[in-house]
Structure 1
Amino acid sequence: MAETHPFGVFVPPITNYFFLGSFTGKVEDTSYDWFYSNKRNQFWSIMEIVYGIDLSTKVKKQYLFTELRMAIADIIISCERKANSNLDMNLTNMVFNTEAINKVFQRNKIKSIYFSSRFAEKLFRKAFKDVMIQYQNIELITLPSPSPRYASMSKQEKVARYTELLPKLN
């Protein structure tokens, strides 16, 4: 059965950076209110360490992205899952979030795109070839996946890479 992405795109009033993931994990409970809310995903705990702030609520997470001037979206707007799995490789019948993502590029001066994984970068390169041609000066940066399944790198190593690669707070 096809799932539709529940969150849309978050775009601060001033946006210079764009964070792109693949597709949200399965919604398992009502506390799942924004991107990367699956309790096993390390994204927000990594971001808390990188920026030294509490990100325990959706409002605090959105505030951080506003301060960073960073939009956030997933490349897939709907898909099906094989074996009811959160693994990217088990996503099928993908429909890309083309309209919303294209609007972010058209309405903002994006300097860098940050991908949550190599899979997200690969999807972007496949689905948004026209964006890559039109906006050739945008830097593409792939971060280590915050998924706990990406075990070839420790959480501390992921924190170090995120600290090195993500924009700094003003």
Structure 2
Amino acid sequence: MLETHPFPAFVPPLTKYLILGSFVGKPAPGYDWFYNSPRNQFWSILEAVYHLKLNSKKSQQQLFTRLSFAVTDIIYRCDRSAGNNLDTNLIDIVYNTRVIRNILSQNNIHKIYFTSRFVADKFHAHFGRLLTRFPHIRLITLPSPSPRYAQIAKEEKILLYSRLLPRLQ
């Protein structure tokens, strides 16, 4: 069954950074914003990096506003071939081209952070030409916050995120 992304991009004023994921997880209770699927480690990693409680959509958006971070996913619509959250099972992909193009065109983006190698590879394949208009943007691939990405322990992910993400002012 074809799924359409349920969340609009979050773009605070004076955005300098963009974080890109692939596509939302399967709907679950309490899943009301980016990376809030029950098993995703993204927010718990950021809690450790920034020493903040990020247990609500409001607190997460406040952090992204303080950090000048926009967030969206590269996929706008797709199907799941195996009915699970694995990126490799996403098929019939429609990219989030208009939204990403608008974020890059309407903001002074310094860095784009990808939440996995899969996202970085798909971004380069689909948005590579768009990037030629923004040669100053640094591209950074974070280790996947998925617990299935077990090649790196969560503690090491926290260290890498703390080195790569901007500091709170």
Q: What TM-score range do you get, normalising by the shorter chain?
A: over 0.9
Separation of aligned partners in 1, 2:82 and 2:21: 21
Aligned length: 169
Separation of aligned partners in 2, 1:74 and 1:8: 9
The equivalent residue for 1:159 is: 158
How much has 1:83 moved relative to structure 2? 1.4
Gaps of 5+ in 2: none
**SS of equivalent residue, structure 1 residue 92:** strand
Separation of aligned partners in 1, 2:56 and 2:82: 31
The equivalent residue for 1:54 is: 53
Aligned partner letter, 1:126: A
> In the alignment, does 2:129 pair up with 1:130?
yes
Task: After the TM superposition, list the runs of 4 or more consecutive aligned residues in structure 1 that deviate by more than 3 angstroms.
Answer: none
How much has 1:129 moved relative to structure 2? 1.6
> In the alignment, does 2:126 pair up with 1:99?
no
Gaps of 5+ in 1: none
Residue correspondence of structure 1 range 23-102 to structure 2 within 5 A: 23-29=23-29, 31-102=30-101
**SS of equivalent residue, structure 2 residue 132:** helix
TM-score scaled by length of structure 2: 0.98
TM-score scaled by length of structure 1: 0.98
How much has 1:131 moved relative to structure 2? 2.0
**SS of equivalent residue, structure 2 residue 82:** helix
The equivalent residue for 2:22 is: 22
Aligned partner letter, 2:22: S
Separation of aligned partners in 1, 2:15 and 2:81: 35
Aligned partner letter, 1:104: I
**SS of equivalent residue, structure 1 residue 122:** helix
How much has 1:82 moved relative to structure 2? 0.9
Separation of aligned partners in 2, 1:129 and 1:158: 27
Aligned partner letter, 2:38: K
Separation of aligned partners in 1, 2:14 and 2:146: 29
**SS of equivalent residue, structure 2 residue 31:** coil
